[in-house]
Amino acid sequence: MEYIGHKVVVAGGCRTPFLRMSTDYKKLMAYELGAFAIKGLLEKTGVASSEIDRVILGTVVHNQQTANVAREAMLKAGLPDTIPASTVSMACISANMAITQGIDLIRTGQADLVIAGGTDCTSDITIPFRKKAQQKFLSAQKLKTLGDRIKFIFSLRPGDFAPQEPKVAEFTTGLTMGEDCDLMAQKFKITREAQDAFAVRSHQKAHQAHEAGHLPKEICPVQFGGKTIDRDNGVRGDSTVEKAGKLRPAFNKNNGSLTAANSSFLSDGAAVVLLASEQKAKELGLASDVVVRSYNFTARSPKDELLLGPAYASPLVLDELGLQLSDMDVIEIHEAFAAQVLANLHAMENADLTENKTIGSINTDKLNTWGGSLSIGHPFGATGARLVTTAANRLRHENGRYALIASCAAGGHGHAMVLEKL
C-alpha cells in the first residue's frame, strides 16, 4: 500500500552480529539479544530513550517466559516503562510486519519515533513434551493430597518424558521448508551448480562488505561474559563452488539439490530500525533522506507456492508507485535458499511459471551486493530489519534513488517494500 499522511523516514538501523545456532549466544535468550540491538540503536543515533513512542518486535521462536518479547527487550535495554511495546509473528517476515506497523503509526500521526524490528534465538528453543504427557502434567496441578501426588508419580511411564522434537515444517503440508524448496528447484529447473554458485557469491560479497567496513557500520558489538562479539560468524570468505559441490543433499537424500552450503543456517540475532516522521527526524538532527514509499504483503498456497512471495509482492508494490524494476538502484531479497532466490528471479521474468505478472530481469549487479541471509545468517524474526537497514545504507553509499526489498515466508506469505532516497 502506498500510504498517505505523515512522511516516514528510516532514521537509523542497528543489529547484533548474527551467529550460528549453539555458538556464542547459546546461553542467551531472544529478549536479551533484542535489548542489545535496541540499546545499540539508541547509542548509534544519539536519541534519548524518552523520545521513543513505541517498540514493536517480531519473533518466531517463542519463549513462554517472555511471551511479549518486545516488552522484555525494551525494559532490559533501559527504556522507560511508560513506552508501550508489542510483539508480532509472521514467520520470516515478522520484522517486516513490525516495521510496517510502526510506519502506519507514524503515518497516521499516532507516533513520531518507533523502534521496530525483530529478535530470535534458535539456541533457546522450548522443547515440549508430547500432547498426552502435557495433559498428564497439567492435570497433576489439581492434585491436593500427598497420596494423590505419590499415586501420580507412580503412574508416569518412561515414554511420558520423551520430548516432542522441534521441526521447521509447514503445519498444513508437513513438509520442511527445505523439502518444499527442493520441489520448487525441480519445478523451476534450478540446477545444483547454479545454487552453489549463488551461495558462494553471497559469502564472498558478505566477506568483502565486512572488509570494506559496510557491514560493521550496521552492527552493534555485543558484550557479555567478558567477551566482545562484533562480527557475524557464518560468513565464509574462502567459500568456493568446488567446496560447496562436495556436500551431500540435506533434505531430499536421493535426488535433492539443496545442501547445507546453499541453504540458510539456523541463526541467533536481533535487528531494529528507527522509524521517524520526517519532521521529528529533522527536529532531532536524525537522517531524514531515506523515505518509505510503499509496501505490501501477499499470500499464496503453502502447498504449491510457499516461497514465491517476492515474485508476487514485488510487482504489486512497483505498480502502486508507477515504477519499473529497472528504476531500482538497490535490490535486497531475503535468501532463505539459493534455489528460492533463483526461482523468484525466474518467475519475475517468465509469465508461464506463475499466475503472476512478470516485471523483467533483475540486474544482479544491484542484488544483495553486501551478501545475504545465506552467508550473514537468518534469525527468523530479525532478517526484515537487516534488509531495511542494508537497503537504506546502500542507497546512501551508492547514491541511488530507489531500493526494493522483498522476502518470502512460511505459510506462502510474501512482502515487498520500496524506499526512496531524497
Distance CA 182, CA 155 (A): 45
Residue 220: active-site member: no
Task: Determine which one of 14, 92, 121, 220 is catalytic.
Answer: 92
* Residue at grid coordinates 541471509: 373
Task: Determine which one of 14, 121, 181, 408 is catalytic.
Answer: 408
Q: What is the dihedral of CA 128, 129, 135, 140, to 10 degrees?
A: -100
Q: How far is CA 395 from CA 289, 291, 348, 399, in A?
A: 10, 11, 23, 5
Residue 14: active-site member: no
Q: How far is CA 86 from CA 55, 70, 89, 253, in A?
A: 7, 6, 10, 41
Which residues, 6 or more positions from 145, have their beta carbon under 8 angstroms from its beta carbon? Answer: none
Distance CA 151, CA 146 (A): 9
Q: Which residues are catalytic?
A: 92, 408
